Chains A and B, each alone.
Chain A
Amino acid sequence: MTTTTQKTMIRFEDLRQEFTLTGTTFTALDGVNLDIADGEFVTVVGPSGCGKSTMLNAAAGLLDPTAGRVMVDDREVDGPSPRTGVIFQQYALFPWLTVRKNVEFGLELKKVPAKERRTVVDHYLELVGLSRFADALPKELSGGMKQRCAIARAYAVNPEILLMDEPFGALDALTRVHMQEQLLETWTKERRTVMFVTHDVDESVFLASRVIVMAARPGRIYKEIKVGLPYPRTEEMRLSDEFAKLRAEVWAAVYHQPGVAEAHQ
């Protein structure tokens, strides 16, 4: 079992997010309340349009909430900050910089001395297994390697929390499974509070200690499912009965929630 510390690291307080598109206002999120504990790994899963990415962007400070607020480590989020690491689905590596320079980017902005930067970058490249590719350009990397580089870049600035927006969504199924295992390995070595958004039910169960299932129109939290499986997670666990049961539970919550049926008629 995950050690659930008392301290809350990320807190969503009555978060409401509206968007105006071509004159019509729609509510992407309404009344979202959620506490994520320090060191917890939470996945957020739900049908498209349920506002799961909006929730993440609000926590990242990339969106201004219409109402309510997000607190990170008891401080209100009022803009992007290096204490919040974000990993995007599209990798978002700077294509003109080498792998090393990408990972170093945030450290340079923090005015970390060159020698220390080198040590930190080497450490995280080692951690994600990209040491040999330090001088490669992003275009020379595979999708999985690009995302590992992005993970190293996010870790390098030593954020308190990591927000991941469908980071493995663009990868093939096999690479995705490898990436999930590697991510948990990295996370075990360097524990951070993680909020991980995905549309993949298996992924949500395999990674998390708690799965948050969202509902759409308006986007809101529909159900919370505790994952009792211990870390480190193994391949056997993925094939276990308990995993299958949890998977079925999350699946039912995602695909058989009220409103989903009508929406697809």
Chain B
Amino acid sequence: MAPTDSINALAAPAPAGTTQSGKSPNDRPPATARKSSPLRRKLSRRTLLAINITSVAAGLLAWYLVAATGIVGLPGPDEVLVRGGELLADGTLAEDTAASLARVLSGFLVGSLLAIPVGFLMGWYQVGRAIIEPWVQFFRTIPPLALLPLVMVTMGIGEMPKIFVIFLAAFLSCVISTYQGVVSVDKTLINAARVLGANSMVIFGRVVIPASSPFILVGMRIGLGAGWATVVAAELIAAPNGLGMRMQQAQQFYDMPTILVNVIVIGILGLLMDRLLLMIEAHLTRWQERR
């Protein structure tokens, strides 16, 4: 189905263009390589991984060189690594990471758990859709962060407003895709279940939910990404801890290495969470025909 495929395409380890040269002589090209265009040639996983690693190493080297020339006041990877070690040693990094993750996960879980029934209501009942859709469509056009000032005025500066905006971000992306999933369930499958004696409850639980699970999971992945992007920004305003707050604080002291440590941690954690959901998704939807 389309949504998972496009996501998988995004997650492909290396862009097709980089595979053209195919330098390593030890890697035997597949039998069809001569006939197919170089863009379509399949490289082995090991080759692709080697290209990934080389690319990352080259990037780090470039960073090091730029930092060494001192053109931009950027600390080099070595400096950032040292600072990372210090932050890890004094427990700041662990505390910040835990705080940020707790906010994201609570907002994300509540958001997607609520999005699934709401998305089903929208897809299954015309009246439900007519009631809910205008609200979802309206709030979808507002970046959740834009609501932060309003939310802080009404909810104060504690944990609630931050979790609330994350909840909203996760909820909105998940509800739309659940709804999409429900309306695109093959009607023949529903009819097949009906003629086998299924009532509405059975059709809902045993046909509609599994059939739309690929959509729900894609929505959850997008929701988690949105939640993660939102937490860091939410923490920039009045938070006692968190990766975003630490960067904001470091900025006031021109503490570039600390900022970069947090940026990198945010990136790595985001990637790990996405990969985890991708694995869950691949496991739960392995029944799908993939083209």
Residue positions of A touching B, CB distance < 8 A? 60-62, 79-82, 84-86, 88, 90, 92-97, 105-106, 109-110, 137-139, 153, 157
A139 in contact with B288 given A86-B191, A92-B192, A94-B210 (CB within 8 Å): yes
Partner of A62, one of B189, B195, B213: B195
Is there an interface contact between A62 and B194, defined as CB atoms closer than 8 Å?
A: yes
Is there an interface contact between A139 and B195, defined as CB atoms closer than 8 Å?
A: no
A86 in contact with B192 given A96-B210, A139-B287 (CB within 8 Å): yes
Chain A: CB-nearest residue to B289: A139
- The A interface is mostly helix, strand or loop, or mixed, namely loop
Is there an interface contact between A94 and B195, defined as CB atoms closer than 8 Å?
A: no
Least CB distance from B215 to A in Å reads 13
Cβ–Cβ < 8 Å partners of B206 in chain A = 94, 105
Least CB distance from B212 to A in Å reads 11
What is the CA–CA distance of A61 and B206 in the complex, to the nearest angstrom? 21
Is there an interface contact between A137 and B287, defined as CB atoms closer than 8 Å?
A: yes
Is there an interface contact between A88 and B196, defined as CB atoms closer than 8 Å?
A: no
A82-B197, A90-B186 known; 4 new pairs, CB 8 Å cut-off, are A86-B195, A94-B210, A157-B196, A157-B197
Is there an interface contact between A81 and B197, defined as CB atoms closer than 8 Å?
A: yes
What is the CA–CA distance of A110 and B211 in the complex, to the nearest angstrom? 22
Partner of B197, one of A88, A95, A110: A110
Chain A: CB-nearest residue to B284: A96
A80 in contact with B191 given A96-B210, A96-B287 (CB within 8 Å): yes
A80 in contact with B189 given A109-B202, A139-B289 (CB within 8 Å): no
Least CB distance from A90 to B in Å reads 5
9 A–B pairs (Cβ distance < 8 Å), ordered by A:
A86-B192, A88-B191, A90-B186, A94-B206, A95-B288, A96-B210, A96-B211, A96-B213, A109-B197
Is there an interface contact between A81 and B195, defined as CB atoms closer than 8 Å?
A: yes
Cβ–Cβ < 8 Å partners of B197 in chain A = 80-82, 106, 109-110, 157
Is there an interface contact between B210 and A92, defined as CB atoms closer than 8 Å?
A: no
What is the CA–CA distance of A80 and B213 in the complex, to the nearest angstrom? 26
What is the CA–CA distance of A82 and B198 in the complex, to the nearest angstrom? 9
Most buried by A among B189, B195, B197, B206: B195
B188 at the interface (CB under 8 A from A): yes
Chain B stretch 197-211: residues in CB contact (< 8 A) with chain A: 197-198, 202, 206-207, 210-211
Is there an interface contact between A95 and B287, defined as CB atoms closer than 8 Å?
A: yes
Cβ–Cβ < 8 Å partners of A92 in chain B = 186, 188-189, 191-192
What is the CA–CA distance of A85 and B191 in the complex, to the nearest angstrom? 11
What is the CA–CA distance of A94 and B188 in the complex, to the nearest angstrom? 10
Least CB distance from B65 to A in Å reads 50
What is the CA–CA distance of A96 and B213 in the complex, to the nearest angstrom? 10
Cβ–Cβ < 8 Å partners of B207 in chain A = 94
A62 in contact with B196 given A94-B207, A96-B210 (CB within 8 Å): no
Least CB distance from B288 to A in Å reads 7
Is there an interface contact between B287 and A84, defined as CB atoms closer than 8 Å?
A: no
B193 at the interface (CB under 8 A from A): yes
Cβ–Cβ < 8 Å partners of A90 in chain B = 186, 188
Cβ–Cβ < 8 Å partners of A85 in chain B = 195
What is the CA–CA distance of A129 and B15 in the complex, to the nearest angstrom? 45
Contact with A along B159-180 (1 / 0, CB 8 A): 0000000000000000000000
Cβ–Cβ < 8 Å partners of B213 in chain A = 96
Most buried by A among B193, B197, B207: B197
Is there an interface contact between B289 and A82, defined as CB atoms closer than 8 Å?
A: no
A84 in contact with B210 given A92-B189, A94-B189 (CB within 8 Å): no
Cβ–Cβ < 8 Å partners of A79 in chain B = 194
Is there an interface contact between A80 and B194, defined as CB atoms closer than 8 Å?
A: yes
Cβ–Cβ < 8 Å partners of B195 in chain A = 60-62, 80-82, 84-86
What is the CA–CA distance of A207 and B202 in the complex, to the nearest angstrom? 35
What is the CA–CA distance of A85 and B193 in the complex, to the nearest angstrom? 11
